Copies of this chain bind each other. A is one copy, B any other.
């Protein structure tokens, strides 16, 4: 029951009020995969340059992540650098060097094509669609997108997400995609575009799941210290699909139960919260499944009445 993850593997330079790291492992595919790896077997499709370090390969391998679909090509790995505002709710991009990622054409190894779970990280919508089409027997698929694809590749994006079981986006993106400011109405518009399940991520304020005519809200975990929010949304996605994959959920035949989806949203929130506790992917170097389950229970303790 393994999960295929497609997206960027990158190096990031990040500055937050807690410090500065000039270069560290990053990228949506990296964060999603590491988070999901605590729940299920993960296989990635991504591209890196000649500069991609052995220690980063080793980290992914230690998490059991299949790297057969990780292409290494001449040139440099995607590099992004940014600086966060004091409250960490905004960030400014300082550098975006696409490098080898500019020509990324995801190619699925044969061994990936019949895997049941697929998470499409934030890449060009037509590439997301081509990956979905390379697979058969998928039980649950979906992904993420961003403002640039919503505004400049809208028609392609609409065709792409029409075939997804779930869409995970943030509140600003949901407003942009739907043209509705009110999130409840925005969600209704987006569900009418095709996805059966919509999760709107709200950063420190949590997330909202929309599914059929119901919604579920979870507040954000109240961290003592947010070191670096980079990748938190991707880790949410990894926890969400990782949990559903581990449960064997099948959107193609079942009516997916609300209870499973709600727990998936909590596990997403748990993984997003851990991500913020250290710079980059560092928290995942030591994180354990018992810590994850303990935080899941803490969510219940902090929200039940």
The interface of chain A, by Cβ under 8 A from chain B, is 86-87, 181-185, 202, 205-206, 208, 214-219, 222-226, 259, 262-263, 265-266, 299-305
User: Across the interface, which residues of B come within 8 angstroms of A182, CB to CB?
Assistant: 223-226
**Given A222-B215, A304-B304, A305-B216: A86 in contact with B183 (beta carbons within 8 A):** no
User: Across the interface, which residues of B come within 8 angstroms of A217, CB to CB?
Assistant: 219, 222, 302-303
Are B224 and A184 neighbours in the complex by a CB distance under 8 Å?
A: yes
User: Across the interface, which residues of B come within 8 angstroms of A184, CB to CB?
Assistant: 222-224
- A305 contact from B202, B205, B208, B266, Cβ within 8 A: B266
User: Across the interface, which residues of B come within 8 angstroms of A226, CB to CB?
Assistant: 182
Nearest chain B CB to A265's CB is how many angstroms away? 8
Are B181 and A86 neighbours in the complex by a CB distance under 8 Å?
A: yes
**Given A216-B303, A263-B305: A208 in contact with B222 (beta carbons within 8 A):** yes
User: Across the interface, which residues of B come within 8 angstroms of A181, CB to CB?
Assistant: 86-87
- A219 contact from B185, B214, B218, Cβ within 8 A: B218
**Given A181-B87, A205-B202, A305-B300: A219 in contact with B219 (beta carbons within 8 A):** yes
User: Across the interface, which residues of B come within 8 angstroms of A202, CB to CB?
Assistant: 205
Of the candidates A184, A222, A299, the one having the most CB atoms from chain B within 10 angstroms of its own CB is A222
With the chains together, A265 CA to B304 CA distance in Å? 12
Q: Write the chain B residue with the least CB distance to A188.
A: B224
